[in-house]
Chain A
């Protein structure tokens, strides 16, 4: 159920590709910086697709010129949460846009159990569906 190639979570950009190397992350960051987007680092252990607001790791970073500083921050986040999902979000603050323009996962737990599909029978023969992350059966911080 809810599986895909490699059995990994597919959210955001590049999620069907093998994990990005630091060099590849750097050039993606550089692209965002060249566009003047602010970059934030976020983490979570509840990767349900509807869970859009992940925890922020530090403040979003404005006015940077070089990806080295952000990579430093990503690595310190990886060190703090080695078994969480970590993503990088670029935010475009242009008036009228004001929304994230890039988002990609840079760190995953070693083992990703995935999701199961739950069926709920309703009135008549109608069925409503929902997905449920196996990991969230455990309490927070013990999930992965």
Chain B
């Protein structure tokens, strides 16, 4: 790398080994991790690959003295609950750090409460404080549409947006802002804040998962917790997911996680009350079909109790 930059300015036909650059940035590792740990999300991964390629090429261009100004890297992630927006944002921070576009690569995750104050004069210092903390990294604003409340014209959210816009414009090389939220509400938010829309270059939409993808997500989650499905258990979970997707407040991967937590609970209960007194390791790590089938989703006349379980999930997004 250093060799290239030394003789680059003089000759215009200097050859640059893009492959070597690619290796040097260690970006492959992050992208592979992304592929391995995130199931599905093809459009998102394509988009991230494209962004990474652009940044890499940009960096090479800079080495031979072709400057094109700091690219605007602010992003907007839209998608239904539990589609992996926060996880991808974390990865994004890492990718940008590897490519040298953010200096520290940390992610500060905030919501309206952290940005907007409660009385006049409270909002600006609060927002600035958060911005200062996020400098050199990524500022992730979850459910960004709550910042703007059109029904209340004395709401301080607008002030916070104004400060954000200003920093997004002036401190482009210090800070990357990622907004996240549900698609329809984000669209409404951008509609009433055109300045915000135009300052965000990358709009990435997260699709919902299919049932097979959800099952592989479940397997991945179990592996990380040192559990696994028995083959009957896996079939049962596939059935469970298909039923669950039809019911209300389905939150994709988050619902899967909650379902697994409940299955673990039932497994523990089964082992505890079972007749078998000596347990093997495989007993301890295997989730059987009966742990899944005991779920209320399989009871036809229990829609109300379902709602009871799931209302918690819906609020927690």
Q: Which residues of A contact B (CB under 8 A)?
A: 58, 61, 63-70, 72-73
Contacts and interface: CB of A to CB of B under 8 A. Distances in A.
A63 B135 contact: no
Interface in B131-148: 131-133, 135-137
A69 B131 CA distance: 7
B137 A68 contact: no
A66 B137 contact: yes
A64 B171 contact: no
B103 interface: yes
- Interface of B, helix, strand, loop or mixed by DSSP: loop
B59 interface: no
B136 A65 contact: yes
A58 B125 CA distance: 9
Contacts of B131: 69
A58 B126 CA distance: 12
A21 to B, nearest CB: 17
B21 interface: no
A27 to B, nearest CB: 12
A80 B39 CA distance: 52
Given A68-B136, A68-B174, A73-B132, 19 more contacts: A58-B125, A61-B132, A64-B132, A64-B133, A65-B104, A65-B106, A65-B135, A65-B136, A66-B135, A66-B136, A66-B137, A66-B174, A67-B136, A68-B135, A68-B171, A69-B133, A69-B174, A72-B132, A72-B135
B130 to A, nearest CB: 10
Interface residues of B, number: 13
A116 to B, nearest CB: 41
A61 B135 CA distance: 13
Interface of B: 103-104, 106, 125, 131-133, 135-137, 171, 174-175
A63 B133 CA distance: 7
Given A61-B132, A72-B132, A66 B171 contact: no
13 contacts: A58-B125, A64-B132, A64-B133, A65-B104, A66-B136, A66-B174, A67-B136, A68-B103, A68-B171, A69-B135, A69-B174, A70-B132, A72-B135
Contacts of A72: 132, 135, 171
B123 to A, nearest CB: 15
A65 B171 contact: no
B137 A65 contact: yes
Contacts of A61: 132
A8 to B, nearest CB: 30
Contacts of B174: 66, 68-69
Contacts of B104: 65-66
Nearest to A58: B125
Nearest to B104: A65
A70 B128 CA distance: 11
A72 B137 CA distance: 16
A67 B133 CA distance: 10
Contacts of A64: 132-133, 135
A58 to B, nearest CB: 8
Nearest to A63: B133
Nearest to B167: A72
